[in-house]
Chains A and B, each alone.
Chain A
Amino acid sequence: MEQHYGKTEITFAALAGVLYTILGMYHIAEGIGIDIGIYEGMAGSLFIPGDILGGFCLVVTGGVFLYGFKEMMQGINAGVSFLYVGILMSLLFMMVYLLIMGGNLLDSFIVPQDYEGWSIMETFRPGIYLGILSLAGILYWKDRFSLNEVLVFREGA
């Protein structure tokens, strides 16, 4: 049977999987109050909040990518499904975080008195910058996602 994926797919799944899992665990650690930063203020510079549930979601996304990586390494054709769904999930979470940012921004116009000294970057999250990776992925593989009426993935590679 023809193989439906190549090195790019495998590398992407591994990279995204590791990044999402590690940063997700970092969220959880911050949420519990364990400092795992390598240097002073590392969490801040990576925009990582203490957020157990949000961290859990990133870890799950990472898990999906890693599962795909595992299956593709084993030569399972359908393993590529995990890559595609992982991309969709990470874009979904990116959208969620952007909506949260937008909601806060909007709110800061409506009740400015509650937002003195606040900056929009306070709501910037790893879910957003990690999503850029998936955005690149979906553009790279755009002919495999067809989003009209029905979701169809076409084989490639």
Chain B
Amino acid sequence: MTEKITVALAGNPNVGKTSIFNAITGSKQHVGNWPGVTVERKMGKRKHKDIEMQIVDLPGTYSLTAYSLDEIIARDFIIEEKPDIVVQVIDATNLERNLYLTTQLMELGTKLIIALNMTDLALAKGDSIEVQKMQEFLEVPVISTIGSRGGGIEDLLDSITEEIHRTRTNENVFVYDGEIEKSADELGNVLADDPYYSHYPSRWFSMKLLEGDENIIKKAKESGNYPQIRKILQRTDADSFEAKIADQRYKTIQTMLRQVCNINTDHLSGSDMVDRVVTNKYLGIPIFLSLMWAAFEVTFTFATPFMNIIDIFFGWLAETASDVITISWLASLVGDGMIAGVGSVLIFLPNILLLFFMISLMEDSGYMSRAAFIMDKVMSKIGLHGKSFIPLIMGFGCNVPAIMATRTIEDSRDRLITILIAPFVSCGARLPVYVLLAGAFFGRDAGIVIFGLYALGIFVALISAKLMRSTIVKGEDTPFIMELPSYKIPTLKGSILHMWERGKIYLKKAGGIILIGVVGIWLLASIPAPGSGGTFASEEIYGTTDSMIGFIGQIIEPLVAPLGFDWKIAVALMFGVVAKEIVVGSMGVLYGVGDNEDSLTEILAAGAMTPLAGLGLMVFTLLYVPCFACIGVIKRETGSWKWTVFQLLYGTGLAWIFAFVLYQVGSRIGLFA
């Protein structure tokens, strides 16, 4: 008979939980260096020695207090859903910090196993750890693992199956000073009187009450004998208790560490040396900027040949389609609509993939957390801190995962601001619009223009944060600790996988929502406008003012006319709300790329639009309403329509003002004329 158990993987961020999760379950998942990628609960299955294990990858946490969403998710899972066993993954190169969480997990009284991960790194640093001694000291099994290469996973599974049948709990391993113990005992007696608490590990519950944990106090308030509890708590000082408890935990850990390991301190590790340089007061930010430049430069120049290949392929495809399909409206739908539309989006796939690949390299090597660290000073000027910077950088790929990554931010107001400004970070979907327009109008300077747009996005994000911080979302600075994981040489496989995870989203969009979008646009471009008397899908009306699309476009044109945009742009922007790449796809339809030998770039460069309006369009696309997917995630993460609508109006308002000023002032002073 097979037995079914639940195993939870807990641990600090970046210790290798997901790597171990993947090694156990064999599922293909994102393996990265990103503090906070594991925000959602990942589940997987594994059968070992007739035991069916359900594995849960918990969010990374430093402790089990109630300071961040991640911590609450992790601890609620352990307390409420009571997994049969908790495996804490520990970074062997950073034992002290990691064991702090161990002390808390032990008090929870769950069965615990320690996976001592990154042992390869510890070895490389010259540390030695006596696993046997550590095991005796902690009274829990300790298994050495190398998560990234699947080392020690079988031992870990064996240990889980053994431990599951052993009866033992680890409550009371830590004894605190007299006063704390006395109050904890008293609380324990009160808790024992009310069956309401039987669900919770009593010692842990008492300690949390003494530490003044708000989340736990709220739970206690629901019980009948809360008045008694309150009486005991009123005698104690939560702040000083909290500090004392933490202090004693650290002391115990240090005592143990002195006995079980020999940490090599007589040389600076490679990571320390690199950190000295890349976090240097003067050089840190310039180094970061130059690395970003390198990433963009490679993205743009190296992608060109591949873009040309795709371009040639779609040109051939459109031609073949129009040769093969004899029904003229169908040929137009397939050629002008689907192939031209999807093609003008897919052509940017090399760009997007290369950029994601570069970002993956920075993340996987561990550099990205340094970038956040050095940006902390800049960020604190606008009232946020380095932690908000990580999601923002991630936004260069896609704003949706970026907004989800804000869950690691403890302070709810910091988090709200970060969510609201994240859409200003220029995501991969906006890149096609820039590449098209900058390429058409600015030729050799396209790189600088695009770089400038990215910079503008960041600038607007930062200024907006400052504005919101000092007006509608006031709040105090909260101190924080940021861990810098050891540097690693990223593996090609890992980074490619990582790139693919994100690139896939782009491809799926091209095949799904974008295809639907361009077909919709084709339909509107083919249906005659009311009263125009044209015939459906005839060449005479296609994409002109005699078509439905022209009709709609002319209605909304006055809204954007002061920005130098005509009705075609108005329509493209309208459809761009579905996904910003569609701005390009629909321009492809509206300017008739399918019919024409000339590509969209050449048509634009030949005067379909002025360079100034082109620049304005890029700025507008950068700042206005984010895409559907992004709107959805803003709503979900803020839990409020009010803030979601605020973001949309704020962004679109800014976009309009920027483009307006640019166009009006620019055309008066003769900019790019």
Q: What is A's interface to B at a CB cutoff of 8 Å?
A: 52-54, 56-57, 60-61, 63-64, 67, 78, 80-82, 84-86, 89, 92-93, 96, 99-100, 102-104, 106-107, 109-111, 146-155
- 14 A-B contact pairs sorted by A residue (CB < 8 Å): A52-B448, A53-B293, A53-B451, A56-B286, A57-B293, A67-B282, A84-B273, A85-B278, A96-B294, A103-B301, A104-B304, A150-B124, A153-B268, A153-B273
Provide the residues of chain A in CB contact with B293, threshold 8 Å.
Answer: 53-54, 56-57
Q: Is B486 an interface residue (CB 8 A)?
A: yes
Known contacts A92-B294, A100-B297: does B489 contact A53 (CB below 8 Å)?
no
In whole angstroms, what is the CA distance A96 to B278 when docked?
Answer: 19
* Tally of contacts, chain A with chain B, CB under 8 A: 115
| Chain B residues with a Cβ closer than 8 Å to the other chain, count | 41
Provide the residues of chain B in CB contact with A52, threshold 8 Å.
Answer: 448
B window 289-312: CB within 8 A of A: 289-291, 293-294, 297-298, 301-305, 308-309, 312
Provide the residues of chain A in CB contact with B4, threshold 8 Å.
Answer: none
Which of B267, B273, B286, B290 has a CB less than 8 Å from the CB of A85? B273
Chain A nearest CB from B13 CB (Å) reads: 19
Chain B nearest CB from A57 CB (Å) reads: 4
Chain B nearest CB from A66 CB (Å) reads: 10
Q: Contact check, A149 vs B302: say whether CB atoms are below 8 A apart.
A: no
Which of A81, A103, A104, A107 has a CB less than 8 Å from the CB of B276? A81
Q: Is B574 an interface residue (CB 8 A)?
A: no
Provide the residues of chain B in CB contact with A151, threshold 8 Å.
Answer: 270-271, 274, 487-489
Provide the residues of chain A in CB contact with B121, threshold 8 Å.
Answer: 149-150
Closest to A106 in B: B305
Query: Nearest 9 CB-CB pairs, A to B?
Result: A81-B273, A57-B290, A103-B302, A107-B305, A106-B305, A85-B277, A151-B270, A152-B270, A60-B286
Provide the residues of chain B in CB contact with A64, threshold 8 Å.
Answer: 277, 283, 287
In whole angstroms, what is the CA distance A53 to B120 when docked?
Answer: 39
Which of B124, B267, B269, B305 has a CB less than 8 Å from the CB of A149? B124
Q: Is B280 an interface residue (CB 8 A)?
A: yes
Of A53, A78, A84, most B-chain CB atoms within 10 Å: A53
Provide the residues of chain A in CB contact with B276, threshold 8 Å.
Answer: 78, 81-82
Which of A81, A93, A110 has a CB less than 8 Å from the CB of B305? A110
Provide the residues of chain A in CB contact with B280, threshold 8 Å.
Answer: 67
In whole angstroms, what is the CA distance A129 to B401 when docked?
Answer: 40
Closest to B271 in A: A151
Q: What is B's interface to A at a CB cutoff of 8 Å?
A: 120-121, 124-125, 267-271, 273-274, 276-278, 280, 282-283, 286-287, 289-291, 293-294, 297-298, 301-305, 308-309, 312, 447-448, 451, 486-489
Which of A60, A81, A147, A150 has a CB less than 8 Å from the CB of B290? A60
Q: Contact check, B269 vs A152: say whether CB atoms are below 8 A apart.
A: yes
In whole angstroms, what is the CA distance A79 to B396 when docked?
Answer: 34
Q: Contact check, B277 vs A99: say whether CB atoms are below 8 A apart.
A: no
Provide the residues of chain B in CB contact with A89, threshold 8 Å.
Answer: 287, 290
In whole angstroms, what is the CA distance A151 to B278 when docked?
Answer: 14
In whole angstroms, what is the CA distance A63 to B305 when docked?
Answer: 34
In whole angstroms, what is the CA distance A152 to B93 when docked?
Answer: 14
Chain B nearest CB from A51 CB (Å) reads: 9
Closest to B274 in A: A85
Closest to A102 in B: B302
In whole angstroms, what is the CA distance A151 to B280 when docked?
Answer: 19
In whole angstroms, what is the CA distance A36 to B627 when docked?
Answer: 48
In whole angstroms, what is the CA distance A70 to B319 when docked?
Answer: 64
Chain B nearest CB from A62 CB (Å) reads: 11
Known contacts A81-B268, A150-B488, A151-B489: does B294 contact A93 (CB below 8 Å)?
yes
Closest to B295 in A: A96
Closest to B312 in A: A110
In whole angstroms, what is the CA distance A149 to B488 when docked?
Answer: 6
Provide the residues of chain A in CB contact with B277, threshold 8 Å.
Answer: 64, 67, 81-82, 85-86
Which of B282, B294, B488 has a CB less than 8 Å from the CB of A57? B294
In whole angstroms, what is the CA distance A113 to B294 when docked?
Answer: 28
Provide the residues of chain A in CB contact with B447, threshold 8 Å.
Answer: 53
Provide the residues of chain B in CB contact with A82, threshold 8 Å.
Answer: 276-277
Q: Contact check, A78 vs B268: say whether CB atoms are below 8 A apart.
A: yes
Chain A nearest CB from B274 CB (Å) reads: 6
Provide the residues of chain B in CB contact with A61, threshold 8 Å.
Answer: 290
Q: Contact check, A150 vs B486: say whether CB atoms are below 8 A apart.
A: yes
Q: Contact check, B294 vs A147: say whether CB atoms are below 8 A apart.
A: no
Q: Contact check, A149 vs B489: say whether CB atoms are below 8 A apart.
A: yes
Chain B nearest CB from A39 CB (Å) reads: 26
Q: Contact check, B274 vs A81: say whether CB atoms are below 8 A apart.
A: yes
In whole angstroms, what is the CA distance A110 to B229 when docked?
Answer: 77
In whole angstroms, what is the CA distance A54 to B289 when docked?
Answer: 11
Provide the residues of chain B in CB contact with A99, threshold 8 Å.
Answer: 298, 301-302
In whole angstroms, what is the CA distance A17 to B448 when docked?
Answer: 26
Q: Contact check, A63 vs B286: say whether CB atoms are below 8 A apart.
A: yes
Which of A60, A92, A109, A153 has a CB less than 8 Å from the CB of B270? A153
Closest to B486 in A: A150
Chain B nearest CB from A83 CB (Å) reads: 10
Q: Contact check, B489 vs A148: say whether CB atoms are below 8 A apart.
A: yes
Which of A78, A104, A111, A149 has a CB less than 8 Å from the CB of B301? A104
In whole angstroms, what is the CA distance A104 to B306 when docked?
Answer: 11
Q: Contact check, A147 vs B489: say whether CB atoms are below 8 A apart.
A: yes
In whole angstroms, what is the CA distance A56 to B285 when docked?
Answer: 12
Known contacts A53-B293, A81-B273, A96-B294: does B283 contact A107 (CB below 8 Å)?
no
Provide the residues of chain B in CB contact with A155, threshold 8 Å.
Answer: 267
In whole angstroms, what is the CA distance A49 to B304 when docked?
Answer: 20
Q: Contact check, B289 vs A56: say whether CB atoms are below 8 A apart.
A: yes
Provide the residues of chain A in CB contact with B291, threshold 8 Å.
Answer: 92
Chain A nearest CB from B139 CB (Å) reads: 31
Provide the residues of chain B in CB contact with A60, threshold 8 Å.
Answer: 283, 286-287, 289-290
Q: Contact check, A107 vs B269: say whether CB atoms are below 8 A apart.
A: no
Provide the residues of chain A in CB contact with B270, threshold 8 Å.
Answer: 150-153
Chain B nearest CB from A20 CB (Å) reads: 11
In whole angstroms, what is the CA distance A53 to B301 when docked?
Answer: 15
In whole angstroms, what is the CA distance A148 to B294 when docked?
Answer: 24
Provide the residues of chain A in CB contact with B301, threshold 8 Å.
Answer: 99-100, 103-104
In whole angstroms, what is the CA distance A80 to B267 when docked?
Answer: 13
Closest to B268 in A: A78
Chain B nearest CB from A21 CB (Å) reads: 12
Q: Contact check, B305 vs A103: say whether CB atoms are below 8 A apart.
A: yes
Provide the residues of chain B in CB contact with A146, threshold 8 Å.
Answer: 124
Known contacts A84-B273, A150-B486: does B309 contact A56 (CB below 8 Å)?
no
Closest to B448 in A: A53
In whole angstroms, what is the CA distance A6 to B290 when docked?
Answer: 29
In whole angstroms, what is the CA distance A21 to B488 when docked?
Answer: 29
In whole angstroms, what is the CA distance A93 to B287 when docked?
Answer: 12
In whole angstroms, what is the CA distance A78 to B308 when docked?
Answer: 48
Q: Contact check, B283 vs A150: say whether CB atoms are below 8 A apart.
A: no
In whole angstroms, what is the CA distance A51 to B489 when docked?
Answer: 30
